[in-house]
C-alpha cells in the first residue's frame, strides 16, 4: 500500500473534503504509486493564470475558470522507476479505472450527490475515446480529475 508524502497531503487538503477521501481511497487501492504536485489542488486566479501563461492549462483563471479554483479538481502524477512519469498512459488508465469505481461506490452510499459525476482529462466525456472530436475533448490531460454537479 502506498502513502502520500507530506507535500502531497498538504496539497490534497486544499480540495473538497469528499474529493480528498476519494483520492486517498484510490491510492490505497492502486497498483501504482502516485502523488499530487504543488499546483494539483485548489488554486487562486493568479496561480491558475501562471499555469495558463506557461501553456500548462487552457484556462486563464479569470475569463475561463478552472475547477481547481473551486477545489473540485485534483491533478496527480504517477511514478515509474525513473520518478514522475506524465506519459505512463497504462498506469494512468489503471488509476482512472479505480477513480471511477471508487467514485461510484462513494456516490452509492451518499458521499457524492446523485447527479454528480467524475471527469478525467484523458476522456473528458467518458465515451471511451481519448481526446476525440467532441469539442470538449480537444486536449489530453492525463493527471486531471474533476467533480461536476456537486451542488
Chain centre to alpha carbon of residue 97: 12
The dihedral through the CA atoms of 29, 30, 34, 37 has a sign that is negative
Q: What is the CB neighbour count within 10 angstroms for residue 26?
A: 22
The average pLDDT across 105-109 equals: 98
Note if the pTM is more than 0.95. no
Confidence class for position 149, pLDDT limits 50, 70, 90: very high
Domains and CATH numbers, the chain: 6-148 (3.30.1380.10)
DSSP assigned state of 123: B
Instruction: Identify the DSSP state of 62.
Output: S
Q: Are 37 and 109 in contact (CB under 8 A)?
A: no
**pLDDT digit string, tens, across residues 49-83:** 999 999 989 899 999 999 999 999 999 999 999 99
CB atoms within 10 A of CB 142: 23
CB 77 within 8 A of CB 146: no
Q: What gap in Å lies between CA 151 and CA 147, rounded to an integer?
A: 10
Amino acid at each position: 500500500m502506498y502513502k502520500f508524502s507530506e507535500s502531497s497531503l498538504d496539497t490534497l487538503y486544499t480540495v473538497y473534503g469528499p474529493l480528498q477521501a476519494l483520492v486517498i481511497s484510490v491510492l490505497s487501492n492502486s497498483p501504482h504509486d502516485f502523488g499530487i504536485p504543488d499546483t494539483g489542488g485548489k488554486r487562486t486566479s493568479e496561480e491558475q493564470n501562471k499555469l495558463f501563461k506557461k501553456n500548462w492549462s487552457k484556462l486563464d483563471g479569470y475569463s475561463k475558470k478552472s475547477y481547481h479554483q473551486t477545489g473540485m479538481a485534483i491533478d496527480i502524477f504517477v511514478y515509474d522507476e525513473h520518478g514522475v512519469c506524465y506519459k505512463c498512459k497504462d498506469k494512468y488508465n489503471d488509476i482512472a479505472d479505480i477513480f471511477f469505481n471508487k467514485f461510484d461506490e462513494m456516490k452509492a452510499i451518499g458521499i457524492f450527490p446523485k447527479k454528480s459525476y467524475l471527469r478525467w482529462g484523458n476522456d473528458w466525456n467518458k465515451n471511451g475515446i481519448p481526446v476525440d472530436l467532441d469539442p470538449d475533448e480537444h486536449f489530453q490531460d492525463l493527471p486531471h480529475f474533476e467533480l461536476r454537479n456537486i451542488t
